[in-house]
Amino acid sequence: MPAHAVTGRLSGCYVISLRPVGGHGAVRHAAATMGARVLALSPWRIERLADPRARADLRLALDSPRVVFTSPAAVPAAAALQPLRPQAGQAWVAVGAGTARALRRAGIGRVDSPVRMDSEGLLALPVLQDVHGLDVGLVTAPGGRGVIAATLARRGARVRRANVYARVPVAPSPRALAALRTLDAPAWLLLSSGEALEHVLATVTGEALARLRTSRVVAASERLAGLARGHGLVVAAVAASAQPSAMLAACAGGSAKS
């Protein structure tokens, strides 16, 4: 859907963002173009790892014929541990456009990334199909995106995982909980991480949780949509990708149908 077609479509609505602390800027920008307000409900903050284990694992990962980065946050965290330098014959792979841009800024000239910017889209890339017997470096964080490592292992790859940052859980802020309890407008829950959803549902309680459950979910993939339905949430749409602009466009499309 063209951007001009959805401008203002969500006027008076809220979108609930489950991005990490300090990571809601792109959602706010996309929401503002459509007249929506953002309620930031961060499940965690990002903390870079700098211990010897992280450094050693990263060296192995970056020496692999295939090197996969699972988020934009993984790029500066890895670069802080070791310069990112492509080797002859390597393929560097990013889960989405934001991660690919971060890698290019770090000096990686060629990066493969999927149109469908999620684990399923990444795993469908040709460069990750014939990996039997190959080392595949996975630069990531503990937890999350377990489907990538598991699928690559099933394809016969030796997965060299390097956890270069951690998601440190945080309690919902009193301000966010108060805003959630008193929401007086339609709300859309943007779901791009199953782990984030699980954490929020486990930590938000009472009236705030009840109000959260009345929001309509826009999921970044069919897998995440299924997870939301499993928790009794109403899925209004599946977005074209996890990019904030795509998620907000799906909200606008769902609003037009309701």
CA distance 19 to 42: 5
Q: What is the pTM of this model?
A: 0.83
3-class DSSP assignment, residue 99: helix
Structure tokens at 104: 């290019």
Instruction: Check if the beta carbon of residue 53 is closer than 8 Å to that of residue 188.
Output: no
Mean residue pLDDT across the chain: 91
Compute the average pLDDT of residues 147-154.
94
Q: Please state the domain extents for the chain.
A: 3-43+170-257, 47-167
The Cα-based distances of 3 to 34, 85, 253 in angstroms read: 9, 37, 12
- Asked whether residue 3 carries a pLDDT value surpassing 60, the answer given is no
Taking only the tens place, the pLDDT of each residue in 199-232 is: 999 999 999 999 999 999 999 888 899 999 999 9
CATH topology of domain 3-43+170-257: Rossmann fold (3.40.50)
Residue 256: CB atoms within 10 A of its CB come to: 11
Cα 70 from Cα 78, distance rounded (Å): 12
What CATH number has the domain spanning 47-167?
A: 3.40.50.10090
